[in-house]
Structure formats: C-alpha cells, structure tokens
Structure 1
Amino acid sequence: MMQTSITKRWQTVIPAPIRKRHAIREGDYLVWLDDGETIKVIPVPADPIQALRGSGRGEPLVARLLASRREDRDHEQ
C-alpha cells in the first residue's frame, strides 16, 4: 500500500514505483474513473496505438475467428 497527500492546490504525487512500473512521464495523461465507491486512476499512453502493438501475439486469432464464423453458420441452419 502506498499513500500520498493532497496539496492545498488539490495536487498529489504519483509514487515512484508506480511511475516506473507504468512508464508514466511528465506530460502524460491520467484518466480518473469514479464508480461512486472507488476511484481508479488509469495512465493513458502517449501513443495508445503503439502501446497496443503486439498485445495479440501468441493467440491464434485467425483460428478463433474462423471457428466463431463456423458456429454462427451452424446456428443459422
């Protein structure tokens, strides 16, 4: 658990271990999600498309797509 304080200008500091783990740099953006009970802070990469590159590697996506299409066809008949 890490704890930070809020300044009189409503600012806070992102702890160094979290900044390093998520590669948060000066000028990056954060999204604040409030569900009424908890608050989640999500770092937004400078280039979201580049951040997703390679995230699907190792998964047989084409095979899964073809199997899903076969299932759809079977249900239609």
Structure 2
Amino acid sequence: IIELYKAEEFIEAQKLQAIVAQGDWISIQEGVVGTKSGLLSYFGYGVCGRKPLPSMTKQEAFKYSEDFKELVAVEKAL
C-alpha cells in the first residue's frame, strides 16, 4: 500500500487498503477463534482455541474462510 502510494497509484492503493480493512474487520468480529480457524483452513496450522474459547461450527468456519478469501489471495500474490 505504501509503495503504491509513493508511486502515486492512489486508486490501486485505496483498493488494496479496502481489502486489508475488510480482513481487519472480519478478524475483529470473529476474534481469536475466527483467526485460528482461518490460519488452519488457509495455511494448515493452528488448532481450535482451547477452553474457555468456544469452538466454531463447520458452517461458521466455512463462512469465515469465504469472507477472508480475497485477503488471502492478495497475500499469496505478494
């Protein structure tokens, strides 16, 4: 984002910032449990949180994974 801004690619920087902000908002909403689920589904590491953290259902984990898809694609493209 900073490199795009320095190159005066403001529209592209804003688009990328919007994707990052969306990922940040998803992480805030889902907290530690959602973040751990995302790490497990996209990168294969981490486990469900231990007590007293609640477990996610398969549907919740799938939704979180789908919500985070665009951010992960950008991350992998870098």
Q: TM-score range by the shorter chain?
A: under 0.3
**Structure 1 or 2: more helix by fraction:** 2
Q: TM-score, normalised by structure 2?
A: 0.24
Q: TM-score, normalised by structure 1?
A: 0.24
Question: Which has the higher Rg, Structure 1 or Structure 2?
Answer: 1
